[in-house]
C-alpha cells in the first residue's frame, strides 16, 4: 500500500524528505534516487508565481508522472497573494499530498524580488500570505523556511506567525538567508521551532550522512529530515539511515558503485535537445557535490569542472573511481576558496 503523508506523519519512523534544488532534483533525478532506496516524501522544484505565470510543464511532470510511489509536495515561490492563491488552487487539481511555500531560497536573484528568503524581511507580509493560502489550500499546507534574513533575531516572531495559521508541516533550514550554505547550521534554533510549533518540523541543513542525520534528530527532536546536497553526493543515504535505525550493517559504496551512479545519472539527465557540451555542463551541477566525496585534495573537482567532452569527463571519473575501495560516508573538507560556490560547512 502506497504511504500517504498523513500515514507517514502518524507513523513511528522519522520522515525522510528529498529537498528541492532548482534545476537539479527533477523527475529524472527522483526516478534515479528512488532506485537507491529513495525518500519518504518528495518536494518539487519551485513553481514560480508572478503576473502571467502558468504551471511549469516540466516541473508538473514530477507530479503527473511521479515514479517514486511516494507523496509529493508541490512547492511555490512568489509574493503576490492573489496569484499564489490561484496557483495553489491549480496545483490541487493534481495528485499532490500538499502545497509548500518557499520562504528560504537564498539566491540573490530570488530574494531581491522579495520572494523566497527575501520575504523573511517582511513578517507582516508573510502573515498575510499564510492566512490567504491556509484558506485556499484544502489539502496539507507546509512551509520551508530559514531562520531569518540577516539574523535570527526575528525567528521567534516568525514562529508565532507560523503557529497562527494551522500549518501541517514546517521545514527549517537552520541558517539565515545571508549565511547561504557557508556557516555552521544553528540546530538549536531548529530545536526551538520543534518545541514551539504545534505541527511537525523537519530539520534541514548539512545532513551529510546517516550518522549526522541521527545526531541532528537527537539534537533537535525533529519529526524527520529534509536532505538535498548530501543525497546528490551519496544516493544511498536514505537507505543507510534506515539500515542504521534497524541495527543492520550499513551499505558502504565502493568506487565502482559511485562510478555506476555517475553513469546512470549521466544517462538519466540526457535530453534530446542537449549538445554534448550542454550535457556535460549540466552534469557539473551534480559533480560539484559528488566531487566532495571523491578526492581529499580537490583535484578531481577542479578537473571535472573543466571537462567539456563526454570522453574526457568519464576518463576523469574512471581515473578516480574505477576501484573497489570503500568510499567515505562523509564529504571531505576540501580547501576551497571563499568565492567558490561550495565554500563553507559540508559536514
The 8-class DSSP code of residue 52 comes to T
Q: How much is the pLDDT for 87? A: 98
Q: Give the three-class secondary structure for 153.
A: helix
Q: How much is the pLDDT for 180? A: 87
Domain 5-245 architecture: Alpha-Beta Barrel (3.20)
CB atoms within 10 A of CB 333: 11
User: Beta-strand (E) ranges in the chain?
Assistant: 15-18, 41-43, 47-48, 72-77, 98-103, 140-146, 169-173, 201-204, 224-227
Q: Please give the backbone phi and psi of residue 226, each rounded to the nearest 5 degrees, phi first.
A: -115, 125
Q: How much is the pLDDT for 207? A: 96
pTM to 2 decimals?
0.94
Q: How much is the pLDDT for 343? A: 44
Place of cell 507580509: 125
| C-alpha to C-alpha distance for 107 and 146, rounded to whole angstroms | 13
- Structural domain spans, the chain: 5-245, 255-321
- Residue 310: partners with Cβ closer than 8 Å, 6 or more residues away: 266, 276, 279, 280
Walk along the chain (347 residues) and give the pLDDT tens digit of each residue: 679 999 999 999 999 999 999 989 999 999 999 999 999 999 999 999 999 999 999 999 999 999 999 999 999 999 999 999 999 999 999 999 999 999 999 988 899 998 999 999 999 999 999 999 999 999 999 999 999 999 999 999 999 999 999 999 999 999 999 998 888 999 999 999 999 999 999 999 999 999 999 999 999 999 999 999 999 999 999 999 999 999 999 999 999 999 999 999 999 988 777 799 999 999 999 999 999 999 999 999 999 999 999 999 999 999 999 999 999 999 998 766 665 555 445 55
Amino acid at each position: 500500500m502506497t504511504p500517504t503523508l498523513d500515514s507517514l506523519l502518524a507513523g513511528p519512523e522519522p520522515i525522510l524528505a528529498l529537498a528541492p534544488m532548482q534545476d537539479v532534483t527533477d523527475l529524472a533525478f527522483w526516478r534515479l534516487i528512488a532506485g537507491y532506496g529513495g525518500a519518504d516524501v518528495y518536494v518539487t522544484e519551485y513553481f514560480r508565481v508572478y503576473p502571467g505565470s502558468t504551471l511549469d510543464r516540466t516541473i508538473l511532470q514530477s507530479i503527473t508522472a511521479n515514479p517514486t510511489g511516494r507523496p509529493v509536495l508541490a512547492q511555490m515561490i512568489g509574493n503576490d497573494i492573489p496569484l499564489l492563491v490561484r496557483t495553489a488552487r491549480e496545483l490541487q487539481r493534481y495528485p499532490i499530498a500538499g502545497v509548500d511555500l518557499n520562504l528560504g531560497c537564498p539566491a540573490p536573484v530570488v530574494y531581491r524580488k522579495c520572494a523566497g528568503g527575501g520575504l523573511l524581511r517582511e513578517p507582516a507580509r508573510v502573515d498575510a500570505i499564510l492566512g490567504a493560502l491556509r484558506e485556499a489550500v484544502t489539502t496539507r499546507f507546509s512551509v520551508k523556511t530559514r531562520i531569518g534574513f540577516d539574523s535570527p533575531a526575528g525567528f521567534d516572531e516568525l514562529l508565532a506567525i507560523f503557529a497562527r495559521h494551522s500549518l501541517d508541516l514546517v521545514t527549517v533550514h537552520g541558517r539565515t538567508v545571508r549565511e547561504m550554505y557557508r556557516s555552521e547550521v544553528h540546530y538549536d534554533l531548529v530545536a526551538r521551532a520543534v518545541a514551539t510549533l504545534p505541527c511537525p518540523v523537519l530539520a534541514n541543513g548539512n545532513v551529510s550522512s546517516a550518522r549526522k542525520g541521527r545526531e541532528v534528530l537527537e539534537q533537535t527532536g525533529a519529526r524527520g529530515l529534509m536532505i538535498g546536497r548530501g543525497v546528490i553526493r551519496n544516493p544511498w543515504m536514505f537507505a543507510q539511515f534506515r539500515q542504521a535505525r534497524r541495527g543492520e550493517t550499513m551499505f558502504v559504496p565502493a568506487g565502482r558503485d559511485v562510478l555506476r551512479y555517475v553513469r546512470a545519472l549521466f544517462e538519466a539527465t540526457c535530453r534530446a535537445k542537449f549538445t554534448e557540451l550542454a550535457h556535460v555542463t549540466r552534469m557539473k551541477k551534480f559533480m560539484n557535490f559528488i566531487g566532495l566525496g571523491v578526492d581529499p585534495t580537490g583535484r578531481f573537482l577542479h578537473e571535472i569542472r573543466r571537462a567539456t567532452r563526454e570522453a574526457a569527463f568519464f576518463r576523469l571519473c574512471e581515473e578516480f573511481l574505477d576501484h573497489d575501495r570503500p568510499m567515505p560516508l562523509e564529504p571531505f573538507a576540501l580547501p576551497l576558496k571563499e568565492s567558490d560556490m561550495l565554500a563553507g560547512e559540508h559536514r
